């Protein structure tokens, strides 16, 4: 049963991240996910110090505030100060992360907040934190649903609802922001809607799977799907399927080599991208050579 | 030489735009009458694109304002359409030509409603007008530069606006597309639409447009082409650029003679 919960946790995170990742990749903002996942660290510690508890809600709020603050600072540096986008991202998140590290080394001894856990996560412990029990009888008997499954399911429903509801504004502000602004759609508003959702997703996800796997899931499946299709709706669905496949294969890889589950899942994400890079029918390296050979 | 008209559809007052402490557009003040095909002409970096971006509210204004149909843009957005420069977007985007044209319908349907059959039909009709109906489901990356430009125009048409502002629709396209676009612009003008076009090529400008805005950071001239497209004003617009000046001389000569013949059948 543990295996099922772990794979389901991975799949839920992968699906939310893959959907949002499509927009990040298309907006050429993939590294913003990385930045957010690190920049939330001081938010978590500040929230802990202010609230004096380790319960999730204040920590979550603290983290989300710093996630949005991070995207705001990046936006400010690029738009107003005319800084290169990658330089702005690098400067902002290392600064915020460093503050988090100072807070962590100064106060972590009281807090029992572990930096390793935040960065690498421990998906294997997900099944032990049971939130609800459900007696379904039969062969399975009492189902012990972990807390993380509840939270991550709600998150995925939220992300799907957002994309379903705001498909058109997200599509147009991603493809052609100038035209969107010309017909009266606020590009800034949708930028922060998207970035706020990415912050929330990152924070909710890395509690169970760690920041590195979150970044892998944000970028990898979307970048892979981009190589396989030329329609956005198909890209969104493919990215989700690739994310889920990575979670399943990653779990079995981890069992097989007896290593880190999050590490194995992230490795599979990279592996699947490599496969698409070579074998994609339209954009793959082999496909291109084959067509060239056919032409000559 | 600035010809002001009564009841203008586009009115620009003291418009100044400053990028990085350097003026891109300086105190432009002019009016455009309804139903004209207007060419915005001037050397590189003269603020031509900045002018239409400023009218569309896409760049911060340092001073001044623009009115369309005598109202601020926000009240008449439905009636104004904008065609950005083709290079301003990433054409590798996973979308079809029809997807892009449908964006022109977003405001009509409402931002959170599904696209209706009617929108789809209108979008398809607009693709037909630019002779791109055969490419409706083609991914936009697989289109040529000229075809991509025509998709952008179809999107603007799908908005069914009355004023069109176009940023270099003739840049980097093939001759077929150029003539298709010109035919379309003439047709739109005959339907009473007002069209402002940022244009680079002086040789074709006289033939295409009937009203001109001559720009070199500040407004040099604005008015009907017979009054404004003159050697003196063009020289003033282009400053001391010799190669352009020589060309202007030739153009003026070419353009003047047929006009005189037309005007003097009785003498």
CB contact, 8 Å: B82 with chain A?
yes
Best mutation target, A24, A168, A169, A225, to test chain B (most B CBs within 10 A): A168
CB contact, 8 Å: B93 with chain A?
yes
CB contact, 8 Å: A182 with chain B?
yes
**Contacts B95 to A, Cβ<8 Å:** 171, 175, 230-232
Residue B2 carries which DSSP code?
B
Domain parsing of chain A, residue ranges: 2-210
What are the b/e assignments for A53-90, b being 16+ CB within 10 Å? eeeeebbbbbbbbbbbbbbebbbebbeeeebebeebbe
CA–CA gap between residue A32 and residue A14 (Å, rounded): 17
Percentage, residues of chain A above pLDDT 70: 92
pLDDT given at position A121 = 65
CB contact, 8 Å: A80 with chain B?
no
| Of A119-128, A204-213, B171-180, the least confident | A119-128
Three-state DSSP class for residue B107: helix
**pLDDT higher than 70, residue A109:** no
Q: Which residues contact A189 (CB under 8 A, 6 or more apart)?
A: none
Q: Which residues contact B79 (CB under 8 A, 6 or more apart)?
A: B68, B69, B161, B162, B163
**pLDDT higher than 70, residue B249:** no
| Contact criterion met (CB < 8 Å) for B82 and A231 | no
What distance in Å separates residue A181's CA from the closest CA in chain B?
Answer: 7
pLDDT given at position A208 = 78
Q: Count of A–B CB contacts within 8 Å?
A: 76
**pLDDT higher than 90, residue B204:** no
Fold of the domain built from segment(s) A2-210 = ABC transporter involved in vitamin B12 uptake, BtuC (1.10.3470)
| Of A168-182, B175-189, B229-243, the least confident | B229-243
Three-state DSSP class for residue A191: helix
pLDDT band at residue B261, thresholds of 50, 70 and 90?
very low
Best mutation target, B94, B104, B137, B164, to test chain A (most A CBs within 10 A): B94
**pLDDT higher than 70, residue B30:** yes
Tell me the average pLDDT across A151-172.
95
CB contact, 8 Å: B94 with chain A?
yes
Q: What is the pLDDT of residues B89-144, one digit of tens each?
A: 999 999 999 999 999 999 888 888 888 899 999 999 999 999 999 999 999 999 99
Nearest chain A alpha carbon to B80: A183
Of B58, B115, B141, nearest to A181 by CB-CB distance is: B58
pLDDT band at residue B152, thresholds of 50, 70 and 90?
very high
| Contact criterion met (CB < 8 Å) for B84 and A176 | yes
pLDDT mean across residues, chain A: 86
Of A174, A175, A182, nearest to B56 by CB-CB distance is: A182
Percentage, residues of chain B above pLDDT 70: 90
Give me A222's structure tokens: 């979307």
Tell which CATH architecture fits domain B10-263. 3-Layer(aba) Sandwich (3.40)
* Predicted complex ipTM: 0.87
Domain parsing of chain B, residue ranges: 10-263
CA–CA gap between residue B9 and residue B162 (Å, rounded): 9
**Rounded (5°) CA angle B64-B67-B73:** 105
Q: Which of A17-21, A256-260, B216-220 has the highest mean pLDDT?
A: A17-21
In terms of C-beta density within 10 A (0-12 exposed, 13-18 middle, 19 or more buried), how is residue A204 classed? Answer: buried
Strand partners, B68: B10, B71
**Contacts B90 to A, Cβ<8 Å:** 26, 28, 175
| Contact criterion met (CB < 8 Å) for B94 and A231 | yes
**Contacts B22 to A, Cβ<8 Å:** none
CB contact, 8 Å: A229 with chain B?
yes
| Contact criterion met (CB < 8 Å) for A232 and B95 | yes
Tell me the average pLDDT across A169-179.
94
pLDDT band at residue A295, thresholds of 50, 70 and 90?
low
Best mutation target, A28, A183, A229, to test chain B (most B CBs within 10 A): A183
pLDDT given at position A279 = 85
Give me A122's structure tokens: 């421990």
**pLDDT higher than 90, residue A119:** no
Q: Which residues contact B14 (CB under 8 A, 6 or more apart)?
A: B27, B28, B29, B63, B64, B65
B35, HSE (Cβ side, Cα atoms, 13 Å): 4
pLDDT given at position B172 = 84
Strand partners, B218: B26, B216
**pLDDT higher than 90, residue B161:** yes
Best mutation target, A166, A179, A181, to test chain B (most B CBs within 10 A): A179
| Contact criterion met (CB < 8 Å) for A231 and B112 | no
pLDDT given at position B262 = 46
**pLDDT higher than 60, residue A171:** yes
pLDDT given at position B250 = 66
**pLDDT higher than 80, residue A88:** yes
CA–CA gap between residue B41 and residue B213 (Å, rounded): 6
CA–CA gap between residue A186 and residue B242 (Å, rounded): 44
Residue A259 carries which DSSP code?
-
Q: What is the pLDDT of residues A216-270, one digit of tens each?
A: 999 999 999 999 998 999 999 999 999 999 999 999 999 999 988 888 999 999 9
């Amino acid at each position: 049963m543990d295996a099922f919960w772990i794979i389901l946790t991975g799949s839920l995170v992968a699906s939310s991240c893959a959907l949002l990742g499509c927009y990040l990749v298309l907006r050429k903002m993939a590294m913003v996910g990385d930045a957010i996942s690190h920049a939330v660290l001081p938010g978590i510690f500040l929230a802990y110090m202010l609230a004096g508890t380790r319960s999730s809600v204040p920590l979550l709020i603290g983290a989300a505030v710093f996630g949005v603050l991070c995207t705001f600072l990046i936006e400010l540096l690029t738009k107003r100060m005319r800084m290169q986008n990658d330089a702005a991202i690098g400067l902002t998140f290392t600064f915020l992360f460093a503050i988090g590290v100072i807070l962590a080394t100064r106060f972590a001894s009281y807090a029992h907040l572990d930096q390793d856990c935040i960065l690498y996560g421990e998906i294997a412990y997900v099944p032990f934190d049971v939130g609800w029990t459900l007696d379904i009888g039969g062969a399975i008997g009492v189902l012990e649903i972990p807390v993380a499954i509840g939270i991550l399911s709600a998150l995925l429903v939220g992300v799907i609802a957002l994309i379903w509801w705001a498909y058109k504004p997200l599509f147009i502000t991603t493809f052609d922001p100038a035209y969107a602004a010309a017909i009266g759609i606020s590009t800034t508003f949708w930028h922060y809607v998207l970035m706020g959702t990415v912050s929330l997703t990152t924070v909710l996800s890395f509690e169970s799977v760690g920041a590195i796997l979150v970044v892998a899931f944000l970028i990898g499946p979307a970048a892979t799907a981009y190589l396989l299709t030329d329609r956005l709706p198909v890209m969104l669905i493919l990215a989700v399927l690739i994310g889920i496949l990575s979670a399943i294969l990653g779990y079995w890889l981890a069992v097989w080599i007896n290593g880190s589950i999050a590490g194995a899942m992230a490795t599979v994400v990279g592996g699947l991208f490599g496969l698409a890079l070579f074998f994609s029918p339209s954009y793959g390296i082999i496909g291109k050579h084959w067509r060239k050979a056919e032409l000559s | 030489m600035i010809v002001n008209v009564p009841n203008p559809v586009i009115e620009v007052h003291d418009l100044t735009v400053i990028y990085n402490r350097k003026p891109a557009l300086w105190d432009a003040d002019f009016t455009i009458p309804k139903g004209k095909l207007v060419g915005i002409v001037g050397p590189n970096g003269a603020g031509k694109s900045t002018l239409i971006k400023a009218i569309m509210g896409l760049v911060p204004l340092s001073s001044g304002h623009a009115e369309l149909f005598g109202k601020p843009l926000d009240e008449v957005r439905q009636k104004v359409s904008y065609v950005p420069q083709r290079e301003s977007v990433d054409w590798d985007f996973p979308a079809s030509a029809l997807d892009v044209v449908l964006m022109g319908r977003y405001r009509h349907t409402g931002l959170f409603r599904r696209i209706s059959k009617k929108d789809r039909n209108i979008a398809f009709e607009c693709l037909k007008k630019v002779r791109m109906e055969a490419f409706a489901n083609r991914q936009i990356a697989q289109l040529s530069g000229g075809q991509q430009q025509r998709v952008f125009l179809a999107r603007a048409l799908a908005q069914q606006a009355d004023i069109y502002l176009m940023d270099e629709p003739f840049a980097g396209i093939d001759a077929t597309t150029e003539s298709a676009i010109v035919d379309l612009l003439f047709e739109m003008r005959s339907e009473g639409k007002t069209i402002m076009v940022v244009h680079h090529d002086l040789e074709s400008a006289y033939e295409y447009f009937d009203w001109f805005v001559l720009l070199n950071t500040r407004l040099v001239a604005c008015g009907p082409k017979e009054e404004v497209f003159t050697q003196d004003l063009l020289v003033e617009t282009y400053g001391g650029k010799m190669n352009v000046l020589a060309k202007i001389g030739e153009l003026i000569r070419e353009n003047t003679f047929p006009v005189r013949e037309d005007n003097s059948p009785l003498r």
